[in-house]
């Protein structure tokens, strides 16, 4: 019997599910705690996660007690709970939020040969000799969408070109304080340096078609309507619209083009959905076992395809028509841990240039 997905902030939900999807990859032989429980704090809320958790319970007998909320609410909860927190595993979205959790001391560094072998080094945060603080389990890319009727794609095929004078009055983005924007700027600091990134941010403000507002879907629709000429979006927002059969969504897709930026100069910026073991985890062995399960082939497919993303494990492939339609691309080599560390500098730059 499958329980109904419920999103709560103040109360844990015990999820006991069944699934026929086989677990095909290695789950480590860690001996689980006697009580066979796992307390999961998750900012993910996708329907395919139901089967993801069901498979873990079926394979291990470990019951998942789940609390779901947005990233900020979970971080506030962890702060208020302090050392009394019952969290075993924390799953968050975006390197900026993972970094915030790390510097606030919410993660316990762990050592796992299996995770180190499966998750690329640029998608995890190595702490010190004690181990790794957090791991990325799915990836998304920050791409550029443009109005096909008014914008030449050659004028917007890099992040840097968005700041060129030819794009004055055409650019739309999210708020400068949003983690997606902070992570992109953090990556640019790592790639181009602080001075060049500040110059870029200042020119971006000059090129705005409107003050930054709304989510990524709002940016895409504004490009289609002609309010904006070009905008930034995470790939999964575009993929959702591409997979939609609603006439209004199909009309939006017909009016916009998309491109992979910086294909000859560093690659497209990527970010992650990831997590780690909570600092005061009452069930640390089960927590490590769960993280290792998330790196298995079956779990990687659920994690990625549930939100139109890509697996973090390079050998795992997802059969997703919208992702295939986006085409091949080159990815930046910047570590997501470095992107996280640059968050403060990124916010300082954006505030200085008046990027609202």
Please tell me the distance from the alpha carbon of residue 178 to that of residue 293, in angstroms, as a whole number: 30
Using a cut of 0.75, tell me whether the model's pTM lies above it: yes
Which residue(s) pair with 64 in the sheet?
15, 38
CA 232 to chain centre: 15
Please tell me the distance from the alpha carbon of residue 91 to that of residue 137, in angstroms, as a whole number: 10
Residue 12: predicted pLDDT: 35
Structural contact between residues 197 and 342, judged by C-beta atoms closer than 8 angstroms: no
pLDDT band at residue 40 under the 50/70/90 scheme? very high
Please tell me the distance from the alpha carbon of residue 336 to that of residue 302, in angstroms, as a whole number: 22
pLDDT digits (tens, 9 = 90+) for 211-242: 999 999 999 999 999 999 999 999 999 999 99
Structural contact between residues 172 and 151, judged by C-beta atoms closer than 8 angstroms: no
As a 3-state breakdown, the chain gives helix, strand, coil percent values, each rounded to 5, of 40, 20, 40
Classify 350 as helix, strand or coil: helix
At CA 138, angle to CA 134 and CA 142, rounded to 5?
105
Candidates 85, 96, 7; CA nearest to 49 is: 7
Please tell me the distance from the alpha carbon of residue 56 to that of residue 60, in angstroms, as a whole number: 6
Average pLDDT for the chain: 89
Domains of the chain with CATH codes: 13-139+271-319 (3.40.190.10), 140-269+324-352 (3.40.190.10)
End-to-end CA distance of the chain: 48
Q: What is the mean pLDDT of residues 105-115?
A: 96
Please tell me the distance from the alpha carbon of residue 98 to that of residue 110, in angstroms, as a whole number: 15
Residue 34: predicted pLDDT: 54
Token pair belonging to 320: 């997703």
- Strands 131-147 and 256-259, by their bridges, are antiparallel
pLDDT digits (tens, 9 = 90+) for 301-347: 988 888 899 999 999 998 888 888 898 999 999 999 999 999 999 99
Please tell me the distance from the alpha carbon of residue 219 to that of residue 4, in angstroms, as a whole number: 32
Token pair belonging to 350: 């954006």
Structural contact between residues 332 and 269, judged by C-beta atoms closer than 8 angstroms: yes
Phi and psi at 23, nearest 5°, equal -85, 115
Structural contact between residues 146 and 156, judged by C-beta atoms closer than 8 angstroms: yes
pLDDT band at residue 204 under the 50/70/90 scheme? very high
The answer for residues whose C-beta is within 8 angstroms of residue 5's C-beta and 6 or more apart is: 45, 47, 50
Burial of 187 (0-12, 13-18, 19+ CB in 10 A): buried
Given a cut of 90, whether residue 28 has pLDDT beyond it is no
């Amino acid at each position: 019997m499958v329980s109904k997905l419920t999103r709560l902030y103040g109360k844990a939900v015990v999820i006991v599910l069944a699934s026929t999807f086989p677990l095909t990859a290695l789950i480590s032989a860690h001996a689980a705690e006697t009580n066979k429980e796992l307390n999961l704090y998750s900012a993910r809320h996708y329907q395919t996660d139901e089967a993801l958790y069901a498979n873990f319970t079926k394979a291990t007998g470990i019951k998942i007690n789940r609390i779901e909320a947005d990233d900020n609410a979970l971080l506030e909860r962890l702060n208020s709970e302090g050392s009394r927190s019952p969290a075993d595993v924390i799953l968050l979205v975006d390197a900026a939020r993972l970094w915030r959790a790390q510097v606030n001391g919410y993660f316990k560094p762990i050592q796992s040969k299996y995770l180190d072998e499966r998750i690329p080094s640029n998608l995890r945060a190595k702490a010190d000799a004690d181990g790794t603080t957090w791991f990325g389990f799915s990836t998304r890319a920050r791409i550029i969408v443009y109005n096909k009727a008014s914008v030449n794609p050659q004028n917007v095929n890099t992040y840097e070109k968005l700041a060129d004078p030819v794009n004055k009055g055409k650019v739309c983005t999210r708020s400068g304080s949003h983690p997606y924007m902070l992570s992109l700027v953090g990556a640019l600091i790592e790639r181009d340096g602080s001075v060049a990134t500040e110059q870029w941010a200042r020119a971006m403000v000059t090129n705005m078609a409107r003050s930054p507002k709304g989510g990524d879907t709002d940016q895409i629709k504004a490009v289609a309507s002609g309010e904006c000429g070009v905008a930034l979006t995470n790939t999964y927002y575009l993929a959702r619209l591409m997979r939609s059969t609603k006439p209004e969504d199909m009309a939006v897709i017909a009016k916009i083009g998309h491109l992979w930026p910086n294909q000859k100069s560093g690659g497209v910026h990527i970010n992650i959905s990831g997590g780690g073991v909570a600092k005061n985890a009452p069930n640390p062995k089960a927590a490590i076992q769960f993280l290792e399960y998330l790196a298995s082939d079956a779990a990687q497919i659920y994690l990625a395809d549930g939100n139109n993303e890509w697996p973090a494990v390079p050998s795992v492939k997802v059969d997703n028509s919208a992702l295939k339609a986006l085409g091949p691309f080159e990815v930046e080599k910047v570590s997501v841990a470095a992107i996280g560390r640059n968050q403060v500098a990124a916010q300082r730059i954006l505030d200085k240039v008046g990027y609202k």
